[in-house]
Amino acid sequence: MASSDAAPTGEATGEATGVATGALRATGAAPGPLLVELVALAHRRLSSGLAAALAEEDCTVDQWRVLRALADGEGRLMGELAQTLLIPQASLSRLVDQLADHGWVYRRQDDQDRRRISAHLSRQGRTRLRRLDALAAAHDAAVRRAGGLADPAQALALERLAGL
């Protein structure tokens, strides 16, 4: 194989993102990555790193997200919680079941409409959430440093993107 036909290496392969860039894009052989591809890849890598950190406390990312959503002490209707977290209702019910089995959340029926169920963070859940948040914050700080995202303006751009 001629050197011009060889697979690109190093920077040109997009090692940091796993997406072909550089020399391939310049020759027209492959288009540059779409933003959605980069975001999806970043999401997978960030989530797997966070999952590993939370696993130290025997917790999943989705369980942690539910606990965080309940942290204000107000409780959330199950349907509202599913919509907010973008988790299907059936999956959320299983997550809340698991969290309730551990004593970290509890459910409460609405006094006027018994079909309306809200989830609430227990005292034990609040203690657990503090430990989980500390792990997540350490992971977040490491990611921000590694990704050069310490600038608050960059964080705002990511928040806007997440809100689309």
50 and 10 share one domain? no
Report residue 29: phi and psi, to 5°: -70, -30
Residue 22's alpha-carbon distances to 26, 27, 64, 144, 153, in angstroms, are 6, 9, 38, 24, 27
How long is the chain? 164
68 and 103 share one domain? yes
**Residue 95 in contact with residue 80, Cβ under 8 Å?**
no
104 and 93 share one domain? yes
pTM of the complete model: 0.72
102 and 144 share one domain? yes
Q: What is the pLDDT along the chain (164 residues), one digit of tens a residue?
A: 443 343 333 333 344 444 444 544 555 667 888 988 988 998 898 899 999 999 999 999 999 999 999 999 899 999 999 999 999 999 999 999 999 999 999 999 988 888 889 999 999 999 999 999 999 999 998 888 888 777 778 778 878 887 77
d(CA 76, CA 100): 14
Q: What is the CATH number of the domain that holds 57?
A: 1.10.10.10
**Residue 53 in contact with residue 96, Cβ under 8 Å?**
no
60 and 121 share one domain? yes
82 and 116 share one domain? yes
Tell me, what's the pLDDT at 161? 80
Tell me, what's the pLDDT at 146? 84
Tell me, what's the pLDDT at 121? 97
Count the domains in the chain: 2
23 and 55 share one domain? no
Which residue segment(s) compose the domain that 138 sits in?
Answer: 34-162
